[in-house]
Amino acid sequence: MKYKISYIVGVVTSLLILTQCGSSMIESLQRVPTAIGSINQLVVICDEDLWNSPTGDTFKFRFESAYPLLPAPEPIFDIKYYSQDQVTSRPLRKELRTYLYLADLNDLESATTQEVLNDLGADLLDKVKQNPEQTSMTGRDKWAQGQLIIYLFGNGPTQLAENINKSFFPIAKRINQFDNIQINAYAYLNGESEHLQRVMNQKFGVHFKVPADYVKAMDDENTLWLRKDEGVTISNIICRKIKYTSENQLTKEGIIKLMNQVGKELVTSNTPGSHLVVNDEDLPVYLYFKTLDNAYTVEARGIWELTYDYMGGPFISYLVKHPTKSELLLMHGFVYAPGKKKRNMVQQLEHIMTSLEFGQIIN
Q: What is the pLDDT of residues 319-356, one digit of tens each?
A: 999 999 999 999 999 999 999 999 999 999 999 999 99
β-partners of residue 286 are: 301
Q: How many CB atoms lie within 10 A of CB 139?
A: 14
Q: What is the pLDDT of residues 43-75, one digit of tens each?
A: 999 999 999 999 999 999 999 999 988 999 999
β-partners of residue 237 are: 226, 333
Q: What is the pLDDT of residue 360?
A: 63
Q: From CA 208, how far away is CA 353, in angstroms rounded? A: 7
The list of the chain residues with pLDDT below 70 reads 1-31, 360-363
Q: What is the pLDDT of residue 69?
A: 87
Residues 322, 329 contacting (CB under 8 angstroms)? yes
User: 228: which DSSP letter?
Assistant: E
Interhelix angle 343-353/157-187, rounded to 10 degrees, is 70
Q: How many CB atoms lie within 10 A of CB 157?
A: 18
Q: Report in angstroms the alpha-carbon separations of 240 from 258, 266, 287, 309, 328.
A: 9, 12, 19, 25, 8
Q: What is the pLDDT of residue 9?
A: 43
Q: What is the pLDDT of residue 32?
A: 81
Q: What is the pLDDT of residue 332?
A: 98
Q: Which domains does the chain show, CATH number per domain?
A: 29-187 (3.30.379), 194-358 (3.40.1000.10)
Tell me the average pLDDT of the chain. Answer: 90
Q: What is the pLDDT of residue 310?
A: 87
Q: From CA 316, how far away is CA 307, in angstroms rounded? A: 19
Q: What is the pLDDT of residue 361?
A: 58
